[in-house]
Amino acid sequence: MRICRFDHDRIGVVKGDVVHDVSGVLAELDSVRWPLPAGDLFVGALDRLRPTIKAEIGRGPQLPLSELQLLSPVANPTKIIAAPLNYPLHVLEAADSAINHGVHYGTHDGFETPIDKFGLFLKSPTGLIGCGEEIVLPFPDRRNDHEVELAVIIGRKCRHVSRQDALTRVAGYAIGLDMTIRGPEDRSYRKSPDSFSVLGPWLVTADEIPEPDALEFSIRVDGELRQHSNTARLIVDVRDLIVRASALYTLYPGDIILTGTPEGVGEVHSGSLLEASIERIGDMQVRVA
């Protein structure tokens, strides 16, 4: 099932060019009091809500997808976890000082993988937008890059997850853009401005993607193909990323893991149109303001 959040926090099921408004399902969410429970209420309840969502299809309005504003399919992640240097050819290109700025080296001598050396990093969840919103560059005179990545959306609270159980903790998948200012500052600073994490166009439930490590994906900027790879080339694969992240952090429903970007990162500018696509998920277009 392809589940989107659109316009003023409505929930839809996408079928082709049509969105079935199933927002009636939101009446079944728990009412909450302070302190709010950690994690995204809707994503955390998704399994329980599925029969109602299916029943709502066809009952509410059917809307043309092209006329809706798509928001991030996750409204309230507690964190966005991201993998640096997780495709071999991106590790090589990151040796370019215009990318690493003498700080974020691609070398990982003595370690089996770059992630063994550098670990994972966090992006601020307040930087999250959907593809119906615009990327805003706070420093338009600096180098601002696109990074297209498979995004994993966690469905259940979990900690110390085994490799064997890892995919059972996943609610679904989406396209992620890990927008990045190049420079010497910490990753959490350069990758966390408002609008620098794009998630969309919708959440595809995990049952539709039994093998996340075999998905073709790409991004075009103003029509030019910039990145094209397959998640089969991930150095640390999706299961292992969940193992590593949950070894460190409690994962909550709606938490997002950006799995890393392949070679071909490059600049975007004011007015750029980004068109990203991942097999079995779909296509999305997002504009730089």
List the one residue from 261, 275, 284, 286 that touches Mn ion (CB under 5 A).
261
Structure tokens given for 99: 């990318």
The Cα–Cα gap between 178 and 135 comes to 11
C-alpha distances in Å from residue 52, one per residue of 24, 27, 202, 212, 253: 9, 10, 19, 27, 19
Q: How far is the CB of 94 from Mn ion (least distance, A)?
A: 10
Q: Whose Cβ is closer to Mn ion: residue 23's or residue 277's?
A: 277
Q: Which residues from 187-226 bind Mn ion, rule CB under 5 A?
A: none
List the one residue from 21, 147, 237, 275 that touches Mn ion (CB under 5 A).
147
The Cα–Cα gap between 239 and 254 comes to 17
C-alpha distances in Å from residue 34, one per residue of 28, 31, 37, 75, 255: 19, 11, 8, 18, 20
C-alpha distances in Å from residue 149, one per residue of 98, 139, 158, 189, 230: 21, 23, 23, 19, 10
Q: Which stretch binds Mn ion (CB under 5 A): 138-146, 214-222, 256-264, 276-284?
A: 256-264
Q: How far is the CB of 119 from Mn ion (least distance, A)?
A: 14
Q: How many residues does the chain have?
A: 289
Q: Name which of 229, 228, 232, 227 is nearest 211 in CA terms.
A: 232
Q: How far is the CB of 190 from Mn ion (least distance, A)?
A: 11
Q: How far is the CB of 260 from Mn ion (least distance, A)?
A: 6
The residues pairing with 284 across neighbouring beta strands, listed in sequence order, are 276
Q: How many residues bind Mn ion (CB under 5 A)?
A: 3
- Quick check: 72 binds Mn ion (CB under 5 A)? no
- Quick check: 178 binds Mn ion (CB under 5 A)? yes
- Quick check: 145 binds Mn ion (CB under 5 A)? no
Q: Whose Cβ is closer to Mn ion: residue 205's or residue 218's?
A: 218
Q: How far is the CB of 127 from Mn ion (least distance, A)?
A: 13
CB closest to Mn ion, residue no:
178
The Cα–Cα gap between 72 and 49 comes to 19
* Contact set with Mn ion (CB under 5 A): 147, 178, 261
